[in-house]
Amino acid sequence: MSLTPQQRIELHGFNNLTKSLSFNMYDICYTRTKREREAYLQYIDEQYNAERLTKILKNVSDIIGAHVLNIAKQDYEPQGASVTLLVSEGPVAEASKEVFEESPGPLPGSVVMHLDKSHITVHTYPEFHPDEGISTFRADIDVSTCGEISPLKALNYLIHSFDTDIMIMDYRVRGFTRDIHGHKLFIDHDINSIQNYIPEETKSQFDMIDANIYQENIFHTKCKLKQFHLNNYLFGCKEEELSEEDRILITAKLTQEMNEIFYGKNIK
């Protein structure tokens, strides 16, 4: 259901709808030795430390038109980081119309934040298989807003802020708001898939699966990178340094890891 700016003004009180976007990304690589594995984890911790994650979340708050009220951030030992932002909705009179449109939003331009009634969080989870040489980095980002600002505006930016092999996205609209006649609105914009808000150029790079519950305003999309180049998944060595037998074995392990994450089950 689309509402014009004039119709928005005619709501009875505050827009009470809660819009939540959960964005999970996975980066998978192969490390042959313990030293390579430790180097990979150190690389991830440096690349996605609390300071950089804070900058990403601040950009998200700018994109969706929110004001940051408070920031909490933490780097963990032995690895991982978290950031939370508390944010508030910008004054409607001062915000541009584009801020309230559910769209992919901009690309990246160049920790946890708290918002008034809204928040943005990110948590990272580097981990590795005990004996298979597989190392995986996962980042969970949640953008929850109340009012007219839309977390979907940050989707395009988030996709391009991480090196992503697999993305899992959930979007949900909860609660209701009322118009001046007391009529309940359980959603204030048109949507039938998160894919509507992902640019075509990005969608062409991924295999995608949807699982949506329309009557509950719950939308779920999974994406797995189509192209596989072994060198992109090796940390500490090159494909040319491996025997043909090792290339086949490592490719099979990486493919299985990605398929298990994508389909959400162990595959034998």
Q: Pick the more confident residue, 94 or 163.
A: 163
The CA distance from 215 to 230, in Å, is 42
Tokens 């009180």, residue?
Answer: 13
- What range defines the domain where residue 215 resides? 18-88+114-263
Is 69 within a domain? yes
- Give the up-direction half-sphere exposure of residue 189: CA atoms within 13 A in the CB hemisphere: 24
Is 104 within a domain? no
Which tokens is 32 given? 């042959």
Quote the pLDDT of residue 13: 54
How far apart, in Å, are the Cα atoms of 51 and each of 111, 159, 184? 7, 19, 42
pLDDT higher than threshold 90 for residue 232: yes
Which residues, other chains included, contact 131 with Cβ-Cβ below 8 Å and sequence gap of 6+?
none
Is 10 within a domain? no
The CA distance from 53 to 111, in Å, is 5
Quote the pLDDT of residue 14: 61
Is 97 within a domain? no
pLDDT higher than threshold 50 for residue 107: no
Q: What is the number of residues in the chain?
A: 268
Q: Return the minimum-mean-pLDDT range out of 90-104, 147-161, 172-186, 223-237.
A: 90-104
Q: Which residue, among 111, 12, 41, has the nearest Cα to 70 in the 3D structure?
A: 111
Tokens 């949507």, residue?
Answer: 191
Catalytic residues: 118, 123, 146
* Bond into 199 cis (ω within 30): no
Looking at residues 202-220, what average pLDDT do you find?
A: 95
pLDDT digits (tens, 9 = 90+) for 5-34: 444 434 445 677 889 999 999 999 999 888
pLDDT digits (tens, 9 = 90+) for 140-182: 999 988 777 788 988 999 998 888 999 999 999 998 888 778 8
pLDDT higher than threshold 60 for residue 101: no
Is 11 within a domain? no
**Confidence bin at 255 (pLDDT 50/70/90):** very high
Cβ neighbours, 10 Å, residue 4: 9
Q: Any bridge partners for residue 211, and if so which? A: 220
Give the burial class of 78: count Cβ atoms within 10 A of its Cβ; 0-12 exposed, 13-18 middle, 19 or more buried. exposed
Looking at residues 83-108, what average pLDDT do you find?
A: 56
Task: Identify the sign of the CA torsion 191, 197, 201, 203.
Answer: negative
pLDDT digits (tens, 9 = 90+) for 36-88: 888 888 888 888 899 999 999 999 988 888 888 889 998 888 788 999 988 88
The CA distance from 46 to 40, in Å, is 10
* pTM of the full structure: 0.80
Q: Which residue, among 117, 113, 26, has the nearest Cα to 63 in the 3D structure?
A: 113
Please name the helix (run of DSSP H) or strand (run of DSSP E) that holds residue 224, with its range, or none.
Answer: strand 218-225
Give the rounded percent of residues in the chain with a pLDDT score beyond 70. Answer: 83
Asked whether the beta carbons of 19 and 144 are under 8 A apart, the reply is: yes
Is 102 within a domain? no
Is 204 within a domain? yes
Looking at residues 198-226, what average pLDDT do you find?
A: 95
Domains of the chain: total: 1
Which tokens is 135 given? 């190392």
Q: Return the minimum-mean-pLDDT range out of 116-120, 191-195, 257-261.
A: 116-120
Is 8 within a domain? no
**Confidence bin at 114 (pLDDT 50/70/90):** very low
Task: Identify the sign of the CA torsion 190, 192, 198, 200.
Answer: negative
pLDDT digits (tens, 9 = 90+) for 182-205: 888 888 888 999 999 999 999 999
The CATH number covering residue 130 comes to 3.60.90.10
